[in-house]
C-alpha cells in the first residue's frame, strides 16, 4: 500500500511543450518558430563533417545568423574525428564570421555520437580542438545518457578538464528513449556542468533530485519541423 501511494503521488509524464523552456536546438531545415524570439540560449547547426570521402566541412547554413537577444552556440555535427587542418580552419572561420555579425556567441558545440567505450579517444580529439579554439569561446558537446552510467571515470574526468558543458540527449528520432529515468539516476557521476536535451512532444517526467544537482544547468529542447510529416528530424 505504501508503494502504491508513492506511485500515485508522482507526476505523470507529459509531452514536452517548447513554450515552457528557453533553450533550444535548431537544426538545418527547421523553420525558426516565433518562440525563439524570447529564447535565452540557441544552438544552431552550422554544418557537418561527414564520414564518406575526405574530411571536409559541409556548410548547412550559408546565411550568417543574427541572434542578438540570446546566447548562441555554433554547432557542428561530425561523423568522424580525423579532422584535417582545413576543417579546423573552416570551423574557426565560421566562428569568427558569426561573431562579427554581432551575435552573443558562446562558443562551439560538437555533436558526435561518441560510444561510451570510446570516451578516451573522444577526449583526446576534444583536447586538440580546445587547444585550437580561441580562449574566448567555450566548448560544448552532446552526450549519451549511458556516459554517466557506464563511462570510465578517468575518461569522464578528462572530458571535464576539456569541455565547458555536456548536453545529455534523452531521445532518439522523435521519441524519448524508454527507461530514461534509470540512466538519469546516475547523472551525479558526471564531473562537469550538464544540460538535459528533450525532444519536442516527447514524453517526460523530471526525475527526483535532478533540479537539486549543482552541476545541472537546465534543459534544451530539440525543435521539430513544423509540418509534422512523421519523418525523423535531421540527424
Percentage of the chain exceeding pLDDT 70: 91
pLDDT score recorded for residue 3:
40
pLDDT tens digits, 197-233 = 999 999 999 998 999 999 999 999 999 987 544 444 4
User: Which domains does the chain carry?
Assistant: 24-32+53-222 (3.20.20)
Report, in this order, helix, strand and coil percent for the chain, each rounded to 5. 30, 30, 45
pLDDT score recorded for residue 189:
83
- Is pTM, for the whole model, over 0.85? yes
Spell out, as residue ranges, where the chain has pLDDT lower than 70. Answer: 1-10, 227-235
Distances (CA, A) of 108 to 16, 45, 135, 194, 235: 26, 10, 11, 15, 18
pLDDT tens digits, 89-121 = 999 999 999 999 999 999 999 999 988 888 999
Q: Is 225 helix (H, G, I), strand (E, B) or coil?
A: coil
pLDDT score recorded for residue 10:
56
CA distance 147 to 114: 9
Distances (CA, A) of 171 to 43, 93, 151: 17, 31, 19
Q: Do 123 and 155 meet the contact criterion of CB atoms below 8 Å apart?
A: yes
Strand ranges inside the chain, DSSP E: 14-15, 23-26, 41-49, 57-59, 71-78, 104-111, 138-144, 165-169, 171-172, 175-176, 194-199, 203-204, 216-222
CA distance 54 to 49: 9
pLDDT score recorded for residue 227:
57
pLDDT score recorded for residue 118:
87
Amino acid at each position: 500500500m505504501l508503494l502504491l501511494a508513492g506511485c500515485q503521488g508522482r507526476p505523470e509524464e507529459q509531452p514536452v511543450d517548447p513554450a515552457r523552456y528557453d533553450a533550444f536546438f535548431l537544426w538545418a531545415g527547421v523553420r525558426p518558430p516565433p518562440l525563439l524570439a524570447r529564447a535565452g540560449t540557441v544552438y544552431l547547426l552550422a554544418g557537418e563533417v561527414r564520414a564518406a570521402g575526405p574530411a571536409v566541412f559541409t556548410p548547412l547554413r550559408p546565411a550568417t545568423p543574427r541572434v542578438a537577444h540570446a546566447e548562441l552556440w555554433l554547432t557542428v555535427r561530425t561523423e568522424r574525428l580525423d579532422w584535417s587542418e582545413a576543417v579546423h580552419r573552416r570551423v574557426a572561420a565560421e566562428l569568427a564570421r558569426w561573431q562579427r555579425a554581432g551575435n552573443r556567441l558562446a562558443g562551439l558545440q560538437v555533436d558526435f555520437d561518441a560510444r561510451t567505450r570510446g570516451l578516451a579517444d573522444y577526449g583526446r580529439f576534444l583536447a586538440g580542438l580546445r587547444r585550437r579554439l580561441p580562449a574566448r569561446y567555450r566548448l560544448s558537446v552532446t552526450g549519451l545518457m549511458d556516459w554517466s552510467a557506464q563511462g570510465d571515470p578517468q575518461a569522464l574526468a578528462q572530458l571535464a578538464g576539456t569541455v565547458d558543458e555536456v548536453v545529455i540527449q534523452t531521445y532518439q528520432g522523435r521519441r524519448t528513449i524508454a527507461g530514461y529515468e534509470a540512466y538519469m539516476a546516475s547523472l551525479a557521476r558526471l564531473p562537469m556542468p550538464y544540460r538535459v536535451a528533450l525532444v519536442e512532444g516527447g514524453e517526460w517526467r523530471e526525475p527526483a533530485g535532478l533540479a537539486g544537482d549543482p552541476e545541472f544547468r537546465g534543459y534544451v529542447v530539440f525543435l521539430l519541423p513544423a509540418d509534422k510529416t512523421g519523418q525523423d528530424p535531421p540527424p
